[in-house]
Amino acid sequence: MNAPRRTSKLAIVGAGAVGSTLAYAALARGTARTVALMDVDRAKVEAEVLDLRHGGMFVPQAEVLGSDDVEVVRGADVVVVTAGAKQKPGQTRLDLAEATIALTRKILPGLVEVAPDATFLMVTNPVDVVTYAAQQISGLPPERVFGSGTVLDSSRLRAAIAEHCGVAVGNVHAYVGGEHGDSEIALWSAATIAGVPLLEWPSLPGRPPLDAAARESIARDVVESAYRVIAGKGATNYAVGLAVTRIVEAVLNDEHRVMPVSTRIDDFYGIDDVCLSLPTLVDSRGATTVVPIPLSDAELVGMRASATSVKAVQQRFGL
C-alpha cells in the first residue's frame, strides 16, 4: 500500500443536510487536512463553515473552507457531490432523476476543471443514474467517478442481521447489491457471520432462526428504512454522512477496501452498460475492480431486474 498523502483536501458540493453532516463527520474523524464546502446559497455555506470552525479545538486539526465560488474546490483530492433535488415523503429516488441530472450537467464540468486529478464521488439520488451521467459528462476514467451506492444499505443490513442473531455488527459480513433504491437486493449467498456462511448459521441459544421469512423481513426493512427516516425528519443525514466518510478515507488512505459502491458494470453475468452496486475494491485509484462474489439464481434474477430498472431511467433521459 502507498503511504497516505501528507496533505489531503476533501471538497463537498452541496451544504444541505447530507453535505454539512459529511463535513462534520470528516472533521470529527480527521479524514482530511482541508475540508471545503461549496453551495450556491452563500449565506448558508458561510454559516455552516463558521459553525464547523467553532468546534475546531475538539477535533483533529484541519482547515475548513466554504464558498459559492467553484474556486474553493480547486486542487481537491476527492470531490463529493451531494447537491441535488431534495427527496420528499412518498417520492422514490428515481423520481428525483430529471432535476438532478440537469444540475449535474451544469456543475460537473467546472468541478473537473478546478480539480482535474480528483476522484469524484456522487452521493445525490438517484445515485446510480447520476453516477452514469457523471461518467459521461466528466470524460474521466470510470474508476474515478463512482457513487456511494449501497454502502449505507449494507450497513443497515448488517445492523439488522446482528440484532436478529445476537452478535456484534463487526462479526457480520453482508452486502446489498443492485440499485440504491427499491429494486436493491440482499446478497445472502455471499454473507457470513464470524466466517460461517449466513445460510448455514446455527441460531444461538435463545435467538430466533435466520430462516427465509426472517431474511425477507430484514431485506424489506432495509429498503423501507430510508423512507421512514424521511417521513419523520425530512432527510437522511447522519448514517449517510458516516458511510460516505468511510468511502473517502478508503480513497485518501489507499486502503484497498472492498465496498459496495456504484460503479460501471460491464459483462457481469450478462449485465452491462449500467451503474450498480457490487462489492468493489476502493483505493487511491478510485473504484477499480468488482469482486466476483457467489450469487444464487434468485439473486442473479434480482440483479438483472435491478439493472433493467436503472437502465430504463437512463434511457428516459437519453443517457
Please report, to the nearest 10 degrees, the dihedral formed by the alpha carbons of residues 5, 40, 152, 248 taken in order. Answer: 0
Answer whether 105's CB lies under 8 Å from 83's CB: no
Strands 185-186 and 172-173: unpaired
The helices-and-strands tally (H runs, E runs) of the chain is 8, 16
Record the cell numbers describing residue 277, joined without a space: 452496486
Cis ω on the peptide bond leading into residue 279 (within 30° of 0)? no
Is residue 89 a contact partner of residue 21, using CB atoms and an 8 Å limit?
no
Query: How many angstroms from the chain centroid is the CA of residue 251?
Result: 13
Radius of gyration (Cα) for the chain, nearest Å?
A: 19
Catalytic residue, candidates 164, 173, 180, 256: 180
Quick one: which H or E segment has residue 249?
helix 238-252
Rounded to whole angstroms, how far apart are CA atoms 169 and 8? 30
Residue 253, phi then psi, degrees to nearest 5:
-100, 5
| Cell numbers at 212, concatenated | 427465509
CB 268 within 8 Å of CB 236: no
Q: Which amino acid is at 283?
A: D
Contacts of 62 (CB under 8 A, 6+ apart): 27, 30, 32, 33, 34, 35, 56
User: Cβ–Cβ contacts within 10 Å for residue 89, how many?
Assistant: 9
Is 256 part of the annotated catalytic residue set? no
Are 305 and 164 contacting, i.e. CB atoms less than 8 angstroms apart?
no
The residues assigned a catalytic role are 180
